[in-house]
Amino acid sequence: MRAWLTLAALLGFVCVAAGAFAAHGISDPRAQELLRTGSLYGFVHVLATLACAPLIQAGASRARFAPPLFLGGTLLFSGSLFALALGAPRIVGAVTPLGGLAFLAGWLALAWAGWGLKRG
């Protein structure tokens, strides 16, 4: 859990920095959009990762599967968009959908965790 929370905090930093760079440090509209999109999706999943900690402590142990999917998705999805915005070859964009699939799998893991909670 400590590693997830630390990585989530670092990725949150990167997402805020990328969003700020999009707003103030780059003039190309396409690069700005890539940075904004990567920042938004990354930051949402950083927050989702942080929200998993209390869920796990509350007894939703299956929620432990979501953080690696959210963080891996952030690295793949947001990271590839950031790289494209900074001039990486277009082939790097082939990684982006894998990150999106990791995001989706993380949300399914959370749904599975919620379903597994006892009623009451």
- pLDDT number for residue 120: 60
Phi, psi of 53, rounded to the nearest 5 degrees = -55, -55
What total of structural domains would you count in the chain?
A: 1
Q: Are 79 and 43 in contact (CB under 8 A)?
A: no
| pLDDT per residue of the chain (120 residues) written in tens, 0 to 9 | 889 999 999 999 999 999 999 999 999 999 999 999 999 999 999 999 999 999 999 889 999 999 999 999 999 999 999 999 999 999 999 999 999 999 999 999 999 999 988 776
> Of 66, 67, 75, which Cα lies nearest the Cα of 95?
75
Taking every pair of Cα atoms in the chain, the longest distance, rounded to a whole number of angstroms, is 54
Domain that holds residue 10: 2-116
- pLDDT number for residue 117: 83
Q: Which residue has the tokens 């999917």?
A: 69
The pair of three-digit structure tokens given for residue 37, joined into one six-digit string: 């999109």
